[in-house]
A and B are shown apart, each in its own frame.
Chain A
C-alpha cells in the first residue's frame, strides 16, 4: 500500500506542476494519465500463468491498485518533425517504470492533395480503432477488446512506417501505408500457448510475460524459457505490414492491414523462439445518428513455431477474433458503451501434449463520466464464457464463465 501512496503523491505532483505551466506557450508538452482501480472478479486467474480470460483473480478477488500511470513527453523539433516518448508504470510490468513508446514523427505540410508522413521508433501497429486517447487508453472501456489486448501485449513494432495519402477537398482521404520492423519475432507466443485474454495492459519495451506453467511447455520445448519477451529479435530478419485507410473525418473510417513478422520458426535464442506470425486485420468506425459510435474490428491469422513434426511445424495455430462496440454519448461528459467480443484459436499441429484449442466470447458494459475536464469515473463489467482445452491439464472443466467488475478513476493532464 505504501507503494500506491508514494505513486499517487508523485502523480499528483506532476499533475499540479503541469497545471502551473499549462498556459505557457511551449514546444515541449507534458501530458499523462493515472488510473486508480477497484476490481472484483470470480476468476481463478493466476496472472499469466494459467488460461483465464482475465489477468486478475485467484487469491486476489478484490483488488485496489494504481493500475497504470503514464507520462507523455511531446516535443516539436520543427514544423515537420515531432517526437514523443511515453513512459509507463504498469501494475504488472517487469520494471516499475519503462518506456512504452518512443517515436519520431515526420509530417510535412502539403499544399497539394498528396501528402506523405512517416514515423520511426517504437509504436503500435495501426490496428486498434478504440485506443485513441492518451498513452493508448480507450475513451470507451477500461478493458480492451480481445484483439486490442493482444495488440497491447505483443504487437508493438520497432521500425519505420511511411504513409502516402490523397486528400479530397471535402476532407475525405485515402491512405496507403507500409512498415518494416524488427524485434517482433516472438509475436504469437501468448496467443498459441495461452490464448486470447481481455485486459488493458500494454507491454513496455523491456517487459516479459510468464507462460502458463500448467502447459508443460518446457517438457516439450526444452529451449523455451518460461517467460516470453514480446519485443526481441531472434533471426535478424525484418518483418513488414502494409495496408490502407479510407476516412471521412468525424463520420467513417475503414482500415485494413496485412502483417507478417517474417520470423524464422526454427531459430531459438536465449529461450525465445521465432514465431512466424501473419494476419489480416480490418476495422470500421462509423458515427451514427443519436450520438452513437459503432466500431468493428476483425483479425484472422496464423502463427507457427519450431521445426516440422509430421506435416506441420511443432506449434501451428490459426487464430481469429471479432469485436463489435456501440457507444452512446448520453449528455456532455457521460458515455455508455457496450462491446461484444468473439475469439478463438485452432490447433493445426500434431503434438497432442500441447493443446492450443481456445474459443470464447465476452460482453463488456461501461459507463463513464468525465468531469472537470481532467477526471473520469468508470463503472464496468466484463463477462466471458470460454472453452480452453488446456484447462483439463489443471484438472478443471475446459469451459469456464468469468466476470470482472471494475470501478476506475482516471486523471488526465
Chain B
C-alpha cells in the first residue's frame, strides 16, 4: 500500500536578519510515500527566488540505533578544469574517497582539517590510492599548485545522508521515526554552516516544512579568478 501525502502550511523563518547582498535558501520537504517497511522522504533546497542549491548535504539521525550501510566501492571527487568536481562530497565515517585527475596537469591536494589531514600527489592517468576518512567532520581540501581550488568532504556518522541534485532535490528511504535533520552547506551563514531541525516521520501524520536560511554573501567559489580569465594558468 502506498500513501502519498503533500506537506503544506507549516512555515517558519529561521533567520530573518538579512543583509543587502545575502541570499536565501528555502528548504522544503515536499512529500513522502509509504512502502511496506520504509517511507520515502523527499525534499528540495532552493533560494527564495527559486534558484536550486546543489550539493547541499542532508543527514538524518533517528532514535533507532541504525548502523550506516557503507559503500562497497570508494566514492569519487574528480579534478577537472582546475576545480574539484564535485565541489562538495558527503561520505560515511570509514568510507574511502578516490581523487582521480581528469586534467592534463598535476594536482597536489591536501587538507589540514582536524577531521582528516592528508596530502596526495595526483598525476594524470595514474590511479591514486583512495583516502579513508575515519573521523566525522568537515574536511576542507585545497591544491598546493592551484591556490584557488577548494573542495569539501563532509564526513558523517549519521546512518542516513544524501545530497541535493542540480535541481536542489533530494530523496531518502527511511523507517518511520523521530529524526534530527541536518542541512549542511559551506556557505550557510549559521554557526558551523548547519541548519538542524526535528522531524517526526510517520505514515499518517504529515509535517510540511519550509525553511529559509541565509547564505554568506561572500564565499570561496573554488573557481579560477574571473578577472584573470585570459591567464592560461587558470584555464
Is residue B148 contacting chain A, with contact meaning CB distance below 8 A?
A: yes
Q: Verify B110–A374 contact, CB threshold 8 A.
A: no
Instruction: Digitize A398-413: 1 where CB-to-B-CB distance is under 8 Å, 0 elsewhere.
Output: 0000000000001011
Which B residues from 107 to 144 make CB contacts under 8 A with A? 108, 110-113, 117-119, 121, 123-125, 138, 140, 144
Is residue B233 contacting chain A, with contact meaning CB distance below 8 A?
A: yes
Q: Verify A287–B218 contact, CB threshold 8 A.
A: yes
Is residue B3 contacting chain A, with contact meaning CB distance below 8 A?
A: no
Q: Verify A248–B229 contact, CB threshold 8 A.
A: no
Number of residues of chain B lying within 8 A (CB) of chain A: 38
Stretch of A109-117, A234-242, A340-348 lying at the B interface? A109-117
Q: Verify A333–B229 contact, CB threshold 8 A.
A: yes
Neighbour of A293 across the interface among B140, B227, B230, CB < 8 A: B227
Q: How far is the CB of A177 from chain B (nearest CB, A)?
A: 15
Stretch of A19-27, A142-150, A225-233, A259-267 lying at the B interface? A19-27
Q: Verify A132–B148 contact, CB threshold 8 A.
A: no
Q: Verify B110–A140 contact, CB threshold 8 A.
A: no
Minimum CB distance partner of A169 in chain B: B140
Residues of A with C-beta under 8 A to B106: 27, 76, 79
Q: What is the number of contacts between chain A and chain B, taking CB atoms within 8 Å?
A: 100
The 4 closest A-B pairs by CB, nearest first: A111-B117, A109-B144, A251-B218, A25-B124
- Whether A111 contacts B228 in the complex (CB less than 8 A), given A25-B124, A249-B147, A373-B235, comes out as no
Q: Verify B119–A412 contact, CB threshold 8 A.
A: no
Q: Verify B228–A132 contact, CB threshold 8 A.
A: yes
A-B contact pairs, 15 of them (CB 8 A): A25-B105, A25-B123, A25-B125, A111-B117, A132-B228, A133-B228, A133-B230, A134-B231, A171-B140, A248-B218, A250-B218, A251-B218, A251-B219, A287-B218, A374-B232
Minimum CB distance partner of A18 in chain B: B232
Is residue B226 contacting chain A, with contact meaning CB distance below 8 A?
A: yes
Is residue A94 contacting chain B, with contact meaning CB distance below 8 A?
A: no
Is residue B20 contacting chain A, with contact meaning CB distance below 8 A?
A: yes
Residues of B with C-beta under 8 A to A27: 106
Q: A139-B231, A171-B220 are in contact. List 20 more A-B contacts (CB 8 A).
A: A25-B105, A25-B125, A79-B106, A110-B144, A111-B117, A111-B118, A112-B112, A132-B228, A133-B228, A133-B231, A134-B231, A169-B113, A170-B140, A170-B220, A171-B140, A250-B148, A289-B21, A291-B226, A373-B229, A373-B230
Q: Verify B218–A24 contact, CB threshold 8 A.
A: no
Residues of A with C-beta under 8 A to B230: 133-134, 139, 370, 373-374, 376, 410, 412
Residues of A with C-beta under 8 A to B225: 132, 250
Distance of A406 Cα from B88 Cα, bound (Å): 45
Residues of B with C-beta under 8 A to A40: none
B contacts, CB < 8 Å to A? 20-21, 104-106, 108, 110-113, 117-119, 121, 123-125, 138, 140, 144, 147-148, 150, 217-221, 225-233, 235
Minimum CB distance partner of A114 in chain B: B112
Distance of A412 Cα from B232 Cα, bound (Å): 7
Minimum CB distance partner of A78 in chain B: B121
Q: Verify B150–A171 contact, CB threshold 8 A.
A: yes
Residues of B with C-beta under 8 A to A111: 110-112, 117-119
Q: How far is the CB of B33 from chain A (nearest CB, A)?
A: 39
Minimum CB distance partner of B193 in chain A: A170
Residues of B with C-beta under 8 A to A412: 230-232
Q: Verify B112–A113 contact, CB threshold 8 A.
A: yes
Q: How far is the CB of B136 from chain A (nearest CB, A)?
A: 15
Neighbour of B229 across the interface among A251, A370, A410, CB < 8 A: A370
Q: How far is the CB of B186 from chain A (nearest CB, A)?
A: 9
Residues of B with C-beta under 8 A to A293: 227
Which A residues from 157 to 208 make CB contacts under 8 A with B? 167, 169-171
Residues of A with C-beta under 8 A to B140: 169-171
Distance of A260 Cα from B229 Cα, bound (Å): 35
Is residue A329 contacting chain B, with contact meaning CB distance below 8 A?
A: yes
Q: Verify A413–B232 contact, CB threshold 8 A.
A: yes
Instruction: Digitize A246-285: 1 where CB-to-B-CB distance is under 8 Å, 0 elsewhere.
Output: 0011111000000000000000000000000000000000
Q: How far is the CB of B5 from chain A (nearest CB, A)?
A: 40
Is residue A312 contacting chain B, with contact meaning CB distance below 8 A?
A: no
Q: Verify A25–B148 contact, CB threshold 8 A.
A: no
Neighbour of A140 across the interface among B105, B226, B227, B231, CB < 8 A: B227
Q: How far is the CB of A14 from chain B (nearest CB, A)?
A: 13
Q: How far is the CB of A20 from chain B (nearest CB, A)?
A: 14
Q: Verify A109–B147 contact, CB threshold 8 A.
A: no
Q: Verify A134–B232 contact, CB threshold 8 A.
A: yes
Neighbour of A327 across the interface among B20, B113, B219, B227, CB < 8 A: B227
Q: Verify B227–A109 contact, CB threshold 8 A.
A: no
Residues of A with C-beta under 8 A to B232: 31, 134, 374, 412-413
Q: Verify A250–B221 contact, CB threshold 8 A.
A: yes
Distance of A291 Cα from B226 Cα, bound (Å): 9
Minimum CB distance partner of A368 in chain B: B230
Q: Verify A109–B21 contact, CB threshold 8 A.
A: no
Q: How far is the CB of B150 from chain A (nearest CB, A)?
A: 6
Minimum CB distance partner of A130 in chain B: B227
Which A residues from 99 to 149 make CB contacts under 8 A with B? 107-113, 132-134, 139-140
Neighbour of A250 across the interface among B112, B119, B125, B220, CB < 8 A: B220
Is residue A335 contacting chain B, with contact meaning CB distance below 8 A?
A: yes
